[in-house]
Structure 1
Amino acid sequence: MPKHSIAAYFILTNLCCTVLSQITKASKGHHRRPFYIIGHMVNALEEVDDFLEKGANALEADIEFAVDGTVVGTFHGAPCDCFRNCFSKESIIDYLEHIRDTTSSPDSQFRGKMSLLFLNLHTDKVPQSAKKKAGILLARSLWEFLWEGVPPKEQVNVLISIGHTKDGDVIKGILEHLQQQGKQHLLDKIGFDFHRNDPLKRIGRMYKKLGLKQHLWQGDGRSNCVRFLVSVNRLLSAVKARDSNKGYMDKVYHWTVDLPHYIKKSIGHGVDGIVTNRPDNVLRVVKSKSYRNKLRLADMSDSPWTRFRRDATEVKQDTDRELEALGGGEEITSSNTSFTSPSKTSSQRKR
C-alpha cells in the first residue's frame, strides 16, 4: 500500500470518527476525558473476566512469536511485575476467540464494556527477515479469530504495541496484508504504539517512514517493582506533544502504576490511560471526588484514536490536583505558611 494512500486513509477515517464522536458527546453532555484502565499482563482466560470485573475497560496481553514469525499465543515470562504470575499462557486462537465472545456475545456481562485490546508484541527473538511475516500472521489471526462474523460496531479496537523502532517491519506486514486482502476497512480498528522507551523523535521518524499519521499511542514507564525510582520526564514530553499540534501521539499512557498515590500523580500528568495490575485502585481514583468531573471510563462509543488536548486552564487544574496528591491541598501564602517540627517530620517518615 503506497505511503500516501495509508496516510490519506488514516487522516480521512480519523477526521470522520472525530467529528462523529464529538457530535455524539456534545449531544450527551459529555465533557470529561474518556479514560482507559488497562489491565496489565492479562494472559490467561480466567484473568480476562477477573480484570474486567475489577474495573478494567481495556486489557493488555503479551504476544509470543516463534523464531519463524509464527504467532504462538499469550506469554510474558520472567522477569515480570512484582506479585504477578509471569508464566500464564494461552494459544492465540483460544485467547482471541475468548475476547471475541467476551466483547460481542449477547449473553456476555461485559458486552460493550471493553473498549480496547492492547497487544504487547514480543518479537525480540524474531530475526529481521521474519518480522514482516510476523505482522502478516498477526493480522490474519485478528481477522479470523477476533473480528470475522462480528458486527462492525461490536468489533473491539486493537492497539498493536511494538518493541523498538527496529521492529517496524512488523507494522509493514500488517498494513500490506490488509491491503492485499481487501480489508483496509479494518484499519479503523487498529492503532499502533512503540513501548520500549525509544526516543520520541526516533519513533516519530519511524511513523513518518511508514506513512502513519493517525491512530498512534505513546506510553512510558517501568515495572511496578521500581515505580518510585522512575523519572517522568519522557512521559511529560509525550503529554506536551499530544497537547500541541506537532506531536504524533493521539493518546498517552503510563505503565505500570498500581498504588493510589502514584495513580493520582499519573492522572495529574494528563495521561489518557494507565496500565495497571490493580484496576480496582485506578477505578476508585477515577471515580473519586477529585476526578469524577474530569474523567469518565471510555466505552465502545469512544474512539481510542481521538485526541483530547488540554488547554491552559486544564493544565493548571491538573497541576493543582497533582500537588494535592503529593500531600498539599491548601495554597501557601505568606499569612498561612507554617513549618513542621523535626520530631513530627521524623514520625511521618516512619509511616
Structure 2
Amino acid sequence: MERRTADRLLRAHAQAIGGRAREKTVAGALERVVAVQAQDLGAAALGLRARVDGLTAEDVRRATDSERTAVRGWFMRGTLQLVPAADARWLLGLLGPVQLALGARRLRELGLDEALCDRASRLIVKAVDGEGPLTRSELTERLTTLGVESTGQSAFHLIRRAALSGLICHGAQRDGEATFVLLDDWLPAAAPPPFSGEAAEVELARRYRSAHGPSDAADFAHWSGLRATVCKRAWAAAGEPRWENAEEIPRGDVRLLPAFDNYLVGYRRRELSVPAVHERRVWPGGGIIRATVMVDGRAVGTWSGGRNGSGPVVEPFAGEEPPEAVSTEQIEAGIARESADLARFYNASHTVSTPGLQPPGFVTGH
C-alpha cells in the first residue's frame, strides 16, 4: 500500500471518521480526539455525531449543559473547542498564558490598557457570581459601565481574556445562546491539575499523536498554537504511538463532516485530506471551512442542509475518482446511511434528496 494512502487511512481511523471506528459517548469521542472544533456549536455537535454511534443532539446538549462532561472554551490556537471537562484546567494552564500573551497586542490596539483589562475581569466575575449565568450581550452591557463600547470587538476580547485566565467558562445555553459561568462553580477543582509545565506539553503532544495518526512536530505546532521549539521538545519526549495495520483497516467508510471539522485543521498540510485541485471548494476564503463528504479520510465533495428531515445536498468534486478500492455505489450508499443518521440525530423524519445523493460527478475509473 502506498505510504500516503496508509497515512490517510490511519489518520481517519485515529480521528474516528474512518475504518468503521466510532465511539459510544461524547466523553469517549473527546477523550479519543482531544478536542472538537466549536466556533459553531451546532457544527461541533455534528462533528461528534460523525464519531459517536447513535448520538443525538440532545445527548450533546446534556453533556455540555447538565452532565458537564464536555466544556466549551478557547484552547488550541485560541479558538473555541469542546474538550473533556477533566482536561479543561490543565489545558487552560498550558495554553491560556500563551494566548493571553498573543492577545495583548490586540487589546492595546483596541485602547484597552492593563488596568482597564483587570477592572473588566473583576467586573465580569462579580456580575456572573452575583447574577448567575450571563450571555455575551449581557456581559457587554455590564462592561459599558467601564466605558467599554457596546459595539465592536472590545467586549468580546475582554470576555475571552477572563476565560483564558481561568476565571469564567461557557455554561449552559439559554434560548440557543451561550452563557458564561464561573469556572470554579461549573467545574469545582477537587485536586491540582494532573499536568503542568513541561509535563503538560508532553502530555498534549502524546495525545495529539494518538488522536491524529501519522504526523510530526510541525503538525503539532500548527494544531496546538505552541511555539515550534516547545513542540519539538515535547514531541521528542512523547514517545512513538502504536498504530493499527493500515492494510487491515476496513475501506469505503463514508462520513459527512461538518464545517470547521478538526480533521481539516489538525495538520500543517492539507493534501492527504483534500485533493489540491479541489482545495478552494473546502477553503473558499474568509476563514470558512465547508462541510465535507469524506471517504476513508479523503474529501470527495461538500454538503449542506440535512436539517428538518430534508436530505443533505451533496456537491461532488467533478471528475474526482473515488479513493482506491471504493466504488461510486459504495459512496452513494454511504451518503444515504449518513443522511438517515443525520435525521435520526435531529429526531426528524427522513427524506432522501435524490439529486444530492446520486450526483453525476464521481468517476470510478475501475
Which band: TM-score by shorter chain? under 0.3
TM-score (norm 2): 0.27
Task: Give the strand-richer structure, 1 or 2.
Answer: 1
TM-score (norm 1): 0.28
